[in-house]
């Protein structure tokens, strides 16, 4: 039985979660504060942690980082009441498995818990000898996509180091894999390393390997990712996160084509093509002295930028259909499309989490849809709030700080969902919502619910 630690200060909600997860045969321990939760984690044995973003003594991000420093492999899911998806995206970059917004939808929670326990997200590094074929991806028909693929086609056959820039979730790893596939190294290994998830101490040993006894915990020899990628391509995601000392070693590995495992005198010859990705401005990091200039020039033999989803308007339809079809397959559903309201919401939203966000939103919508078409109830409420904000400001959506608007949107969604559950029996719905019938009628009128 998998064991889950829930860190949540809202007592009622944490009990609901506990009951729900126990019903699904998980063992659950509750903690109501950040520090207490980390303590419980270090003295227990847990397969998964669910942590609220706003705790009385810490943020979910702080708690997640502490848990990751104790056990980097344990998946952590962040629960947030706020519509600030940017915070959630940051949490994912920092190592969270996934985020889930409140009010938590039980089916969605269960799906994410199952995925986390199966560890579907990639680990710190991932080696693939047979990379995914292009058939499993969307190429896109927009001018931006065509240009991107033209660059890929030009640079792939060379041995040049490539820097791929782009916002989080735009598909930088997909581009790196495509370059590898189209290169003469395609029969060799493609190794992806998420430098953002590497602790300072771990980075050198992960990249260059170590020998038994090199440091506490090095109980056996470890082959580094450079050696694993020998003959093939090494993809360093979030390369800007590497410490200065590791940057020095990386430069040597690239210049001299030699790596030295931590704690060893042995020098190993390697032949590796390096592709890096970043969503920081590396040049700015060079200016600030955080990233070595010589290394930057070595990595920057060719630079390309993956456009954000906002810039690829003409591809959205194709991505929507692709992600819907994959979600149908994965969840055993048969959703054939999106209604006009949903389409217009998707068109107005600014997708700060790019393709990753679109993929998640579509998968959640497919999961929650019982009929053939996705309707607005299956779309996360924070998207409505973000669009409202966007319309009010007449510019791309900023993080939503208008809590009142957000609460109203969430309240509306909850009423619609409860009415459905109660088969439109208003007395029953009012009872479930713990309000009287009159209040329910007033709210239905306010929100235009028929």
Ligand X SMILES: Nc1ncnc2c1ncn2[C@@H]1O[C@H](COP(=O)(O)OP(=O)(O)OP(=O)(O)O)[C@@H](O)[C@H]1O
Is 94 among the residues that bind ligand X (CB under 6 A)?
no
Is 241 among the residues that bind ligand X (CB under 6 A)?
no
- Picking from 445, 421, 381, the residue whose alpha carbon sits closest to that of residue 83 is 381
Of 81 and 285, nearer to ligand X (C-beta) is 285
Distance, in Å, from the CA atom of 88 to the CA atom of 72, rounded to the nearest integer, reads: 19
Q: Which of 169, 240, 261, 352 binds ligand X (CB under 6 A)?
A: 169
Give phi and psi for 235, each to the nearest 5: -105, 115
- Picking from 94, 332, 179, the residue whose alpha carbon sits closest to that of residue 86 is 94
Is 138 among the residues that bind ligand X (CB under 6 A)?
yes
Contact 101, 83 (CB under 8 A): yes
Residue ranges in 173-212 that form contacts with ligand X under rule CB under 6 A: 173-174
Distance, in Å, from the CA atom of 26 to the CA atom of 152, rounded to the nearest integer, reads: 46
Is 59 among the residues that bind ligand X (CB under 6 A)?
no
Q: Which of 105, 168, 205, 410 binds ligand X (CB under 6 A)?
A: 168
Number of H helices, E strands in the chain: 19, 17
Q: Which of 60, 171, 224, 307 binds ligand X (CB under 6 A)?
A: 171
Span of 23-31, 168-176, 374-382, 423-431 interacting with ligand X by CB under 6 A: 168-176
Nearest approach in angstroms of CB 148 to ligand X is 9
Q: Which residue is nearest to ligand X (CB)?
A: 171
Span of 111-119, 169-177, 282-290, 420-428 interacting with ligand X by CB under 6 A: 169-177
CB-CB neighbours of 254 under 10 Å:
19
Of 249 and 324, nearer to ligand X (C-beta) is 324
Span of 40-48, 215-223, 354-362, 409-417 interacting with ligand X by CB under 6 A: 354-362
- DSSP E strand boundaries for 131-241: 162-165, 190-194, 209-210, 222-223, 233-237
Is 410 among the residues that bind ligand X (CB under 6 A)?
no
Nearest approach in angstroms of CB 355 to ligand X is 4
Is 315 among the residues that bind ligand X (CB under 6 A)?
no
Of 92 and 104, nearer to ligand X (C-beta) is 92
Residue with tokens 């240009």: 147
Is 121 among the residues that bind ligand X (CB under 6 A)?
no
> Torsion angle, CA of 182/299/126/76, rounded to 10 degrees?
-130
Q: Which of 34, 37, 60, 166 binds ligand X (CB under 6 A)?
A: 166
Is 279 among the residues that bind ligand X (CB under 6 A)?
yes
Beta strand pairing call for 3-7 and 48-52: parallel
Beta strand pairing call for 268-269 and 3-7: unpaired
Q: Which of 14, 81, 125, 170 binds ligand X (CB under 6 A)?
A: 170
Span of 162-170, 225-233, 287-295, 434-442 interacting with ligand X by CB under 6 A: 162-170
- Picking from 26, 27, 84, 76, the residue whose alpha carbon sits closest to that of residue 52 is 76
Q: Which of 68, 172, 363, 412 binds ligand X (CB under 6 A)?
A: 172
Of 4 and 64, nearer to ligand X (C-beta) is 64
Nearest approach in angstroms of CB 381 to ligand X is 23
Is 137 among the residues that bind ligand X (CB under 6 A)?
yes
Is 359 among the residues that bind ligand X (CB under 6 A)?
yes
Distance, in Å, from the CA atom of 80 to the CA atom of 219, rounded to the nearest integer, reads: 39
Beta strand pairing call for 209-210 and 222-223: antiparallel
Is 144 among the residues that bind ligand X (CB under 6 A)?
no
Q: Which of 119, 121, 303, 356 binds ligand X (CB under 6 A)?
A: 356
Question: DSSP readout, 402-421?
Answer: -HHHHHHHHHHHHHHHHHHH
Number of residues that bind ligand X (CB under 6 A): 17
Of 191 and 268, nearer to ligand X (C-beta) is 191
Which residues, in sequence order, are CB contacts of 121 under 8 Å at separation 6+? 75, 97, 98, 115
Helix axes 381-393, 403-421, angle to 10 degrees: 140
Beta strand pairing call for 162-165 and 209-210: unpaired
Is 237 among the residues that bind ligand X (CB under 6 A)?
yes
- DSSP E strand boundaries for 94-171: 98-101, 125-128, 162-165
Give me the residues that bind ligand X (CB under 6 A), please.
137-138, 166, 168-174, 237, 277, 279, 322, 355-356, 359
């Amino acid at each position: 039985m998998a064991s889950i630690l829930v860190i949540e200060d809202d007592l009622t909600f944490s009990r609901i979660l506990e009951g729900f997860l126990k019903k699904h045969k998980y063992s659950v321990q509750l903690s109501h504060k950040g520090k207490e939760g980390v303590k419980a984690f270090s003295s227990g044995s847990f397969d998964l942690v669910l942590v609220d973003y706003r705790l009385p003594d810490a943020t979910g991000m702080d708690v997640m980082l502490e848990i990751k420093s104790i056990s980097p492999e344990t998946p952590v899911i962040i629960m947030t009441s706020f519509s600030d998806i940017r915070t959630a995206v940051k949490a994912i970059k920092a190592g969270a498995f996934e985020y889930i917004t409140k009010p938590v939808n039980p089916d969605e929670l269960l799906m994410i818990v199952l995925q986390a326990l199966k560890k579907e997200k990639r680990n710190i590094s991932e080696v693939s000898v047979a990379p995914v074929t292009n058939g499993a991806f969307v190429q896109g028909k927009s001018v931006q996509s065509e240009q991107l693929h033209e660059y890929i086609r030009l640079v792939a056959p060379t041995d040049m180091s490539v820097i791929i820039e782009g916002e989080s979730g735009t598909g930088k790893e997909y581009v790196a894999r495509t370059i590898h596939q189209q290169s003469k190294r395609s029969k060799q290994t493609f190794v992806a390393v998420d430098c953002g998830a590497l602790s300072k101490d771990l980075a050198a040993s992960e990249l260059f390997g170590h020998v038994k006894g090199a440091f506490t915990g090095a109980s056996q020899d470890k082959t580094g990712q450079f050696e694993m990628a020998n003959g093939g391509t090494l993809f360093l995601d979030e390369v800007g996160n590497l410490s200065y000392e590791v940057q020095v070693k990386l430069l040597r590995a690239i210049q001299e084509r030699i790596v030295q495992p931590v704690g060893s005198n042995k020098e190993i010859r390697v032949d590796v093509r390096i592709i890096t990705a970043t969503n920081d401005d590396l040049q700015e990091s060079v200016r600030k002295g955080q990233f070595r200039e010589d290394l930057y020039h070595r990595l920057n033999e060719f630079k390309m930028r993956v456009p954000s989803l906002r810039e690829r308007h003409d591809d959205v339809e194709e991505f929507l259909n692709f992600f819907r079809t994959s979600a149908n397959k994965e969840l055993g559903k048969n959703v054939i499309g999106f209604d006009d309201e949903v389409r217009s919401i998707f068109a107005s939203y600014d997708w700060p989490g790019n393709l990753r966000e679109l993929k998640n939103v579509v998968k959640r919508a497919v999961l929650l849809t019982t009929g053939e078409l996705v309707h607005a109830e299956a779309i996360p409420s924070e998207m409505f709030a973000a669009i409202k904000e966007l319309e009010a400001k007449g510019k791309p959506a900023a993080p939503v700080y208008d809590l009142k608007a957000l609460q109203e949107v969430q309240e509306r969604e909850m009423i619609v969902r409860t009415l459905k559950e109660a088969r439109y029996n208003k007395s029953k719905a009012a009872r479930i919502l713990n309000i009287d019938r009159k209040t329910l009628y007033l709210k239905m009128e306010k929100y235009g619910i028929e």
